[in-house]
Amino acid sequence: MKWPDALPPRRNLTSRLILVNLAVLLFALAGLVLWTGLRLQTSLIEEAEHGWELKALIVANGLQEPLQNQLRFEDEQEKLHEPGDEEGDETDTNLSLAPFGDRNLQSIVDAYASEADVRITLMDTSRSVRYSSDPLVPIHIEDQHPEIVAALTNGEQHDIRLDEWSQEQRLFVGALVGTVNAPQGIVQLSVPMSKIMVKVRQTWIMLLTTATALAALSILASIFLGRQLTRPVRALTKAANQVAEGDFSVRLDMKRDDELGALAQAFDHMATEISTRLERERVFIANASHELRSPITAIQLRAELLQNRLVKNESRFQRYLVDIKEESEHLGHLLEQLLDLDRLQAGSYTDPMPALAPAESLQQVVQMMASPAHDAGLTFVSDIPESLPPVQAAAQDFELIIRNLVDNAIKYTPAGGEVRLSARSRNDHLEIVVADTGTGIPEADIPHIFDRFYRVDKARDRKGSGLGLAMVKTLVTEAGGDIRVESRLGEGTTVTISLLRTELREAHGPASIR
């Protein structure tokens, strides 16, 4: 399970987006602040260490001459107070500080310490404390800490430790007074870490303040972005509910170039298609009800007359029986066509069909329709070459297409007229043409003749069910073909079917009429 999916299900999408973005941001910011803060803290401490090492060298250099003077003075004092000298023994045996200008060495150490705000401890080469700016540091105590040992070799080393005299964490640095070949002493600088950590704390506060500001801005941006992203979703939800309630006129009309815009366009297209299809279904149901009602009413009326023995005339009695039979056949034919049309438009058959030699099927249609054309007093002409390119279709469906077109041509051509069926190979297509010299179709009706139950003369046309051409259109479209109609009132109609040849269709991918 993905983490966002594990959030409480009642949270809306905006809250989920904000929470996810905030969690990711806080995690990233926390890591960045921690990494940056530690790096800056280390850098600041190292900078302070190097700075105090440099100051220790400066102090050591400044104390070199006073320390030389003090050591020289002490040597002189020791000579004056040699053992056996009674006069010298009676005087103070403690060595006093040698004057250096108007100051002595202790005052110079105190001055440096006060100026740098640091503890300065001066030791001799035996690491024994001689002078210190801090009265807590005992005189003459020997110091063995690493920065002192390193200073004797003119090395640089610092140490952060708990000071045994002040009991606070301090930074210690040492520097050699004099040279390695002629050392005079060691100077130690010590500063409380709290003084150094002030800048570190300021840096942490700055980082945390910046991170908090970024987090606040991110939250505001996440809220804004979340609302911008979920606003179309809310609009889509509202529109979907309206569609579910039966309002198919709702449209989103979002002008966006992103995925949400594409979703809105898909929804609008879906709503349009649903509305169109429902309207077609409504018209279909109305037309089907009308078409079924007529034969059922005729059968019912005649059956009641016969059942109640109201028909005394034998010839009328027989005619009613014939009418019932014809209406029943018409009703059965209508229902069969409805089922076939529903099956075809539902796409129930998708398996590719074998290649069909159209010439043979066309000849069978010619033989089948020759008799109805003769009975109608028409001339039926066929022009079908023996060799025609194969098409991919079931023989019964192909014959159904041609038979319906020829049957329509016969029905709507007055006696003495002509119906012509021809076929030819043109480029990469097979063209089949059904032409007649019949009554023709008004130009305004041509776009609708393939609609279910559509009739040109709705009041008087009872020659067909209005489903034949719809079936023809469906079969031709499923085959990837094209059908065109040209007609003029009083001059006749020409219907042209164009089907892709089998070998070319296979090159473009499998397809079939069914």
pLDDT tens sequence across 426-468: 888 889 999 999 989 888 888 888 877 666 655 444 455 566 7
- Could you tell me where the beta strands, DSSP code E, fall in 343-481? 355-356, 379-383, 391-392, 418-426, 429-436
Between these two residues, 402 and 513, which has the higher pLDDT value? 402
- The residue with tokens 């999408």 is 13
CATH number of 351-508: 3.30.565.10
Express each pLDDT in 153-189 by its tens digit.
877 788 999 988 889 999 999 999 988 888 889 999 9
Q: Mean pLDDT of all residues in the chain?
A: 79
* Helix, strand, coil % over all residues of the chain, rounded to 5: 55, 15, 30
d(CA 58, CA 69): 18
d(CA 95, CA 76): 10
- Give residues with Cβ within 8 angstroms of 134, minimum separation 6: 113, 119, 121, 165, 166, 190
Which pLDDT belongs to residue 228?
Answer: 74
Strands 418-426 and 379-383: parallel
Between these two residues, 339 and 116, which has the higher pLDDT value? 116
3-state secondary structure (DSSP) of residue 47: helix
Which pLDDT belongs to residue 310?
Answer: 67
Candidates 3.30.70.141, 3.40.640.10, 3.30.420.40, 3.30.450.20; CATH matching 13-198: 3.30.450.20
Which pLDDT belongs to residue 450?
Answer: 81
Supply the DSSP symbol for 424. Answer: E
In one letter, which amino acid is 15? S
Mean pLDDT of 351-379: 84
Express each pLDDT in 81-131 by its tens digit.
665 555 444 444 344 566 666 578 888 898 988 888 899 999 888 888 989
Supply the DSSP symbol for 310. Answer: -
The strand order across the sheet containing 418-426 reads 379-383, 418-426, 429-436, 492-500, 482-488
Give percent of the chain with pLDDT exceeding 90: 13
d(CA 292, CA 200): 93
d(CA 59, CA 173): 12
Supply the DSSP symbol for 353. Answer: P
Express each pLDDT in 250-265 by its tens digit.
887 777 777 777 888 8
3-state secondary structure (DSSP) of residue 132: strand
According to DSSP, the residues that pair with 128 across neighbouring strands are 142
Which pLDDT belongs to residue 25?
Answer: 77
Which residues of the chain form CATH 1.10.287.130? 259-343
d(CA 452, CA 97): 126
Q: Is residue 345 within 8 Å of 467, Cβ to Cβ?
A: no
Express each pLDDT in 51-74 by its tens digit.
898 998 999 898 888 888 888 887
d(CA 435, CA 370): 15
pLDDT(49) > 70:
yes
Which pLDDT belongs to residue 397?
Answer: 78
Residue (of 154, 175, 145) closest to 49 by Cα position:
175
The answer as to CATH 1.10.287.130 being correct for domain 259-343 is yes
d(CA 70, CA 152): 20
pLDDT(413) > 60:
yes
Which residues of the chain form CATH 3.30.450.20? 13-198
In one letter, which amino acid is 287? N
Mean pLDDT of 217-233: 77
Between these two residues, 5 and 90, which has the higher pLDDT value? 5
Which pLDDT belongs to residue 513?
Answer: 41
pLDDT(512) > 50:
no
Supply the DSSP symbol for 276. Answer: H
Give percent of the chain with pLDDT exceeding 70: 79
Q: Is residue 428 within 8 Å of 500, Cβ to Cβ?
A: yes
Among the listed ranges 1-5, 47-51, 336-340, 384-388, which one has the minimum average pLDDT value? 1-5
d(CA 281, CA 263): 26
Question: pTM of whole model > 0.75?
Answer: no
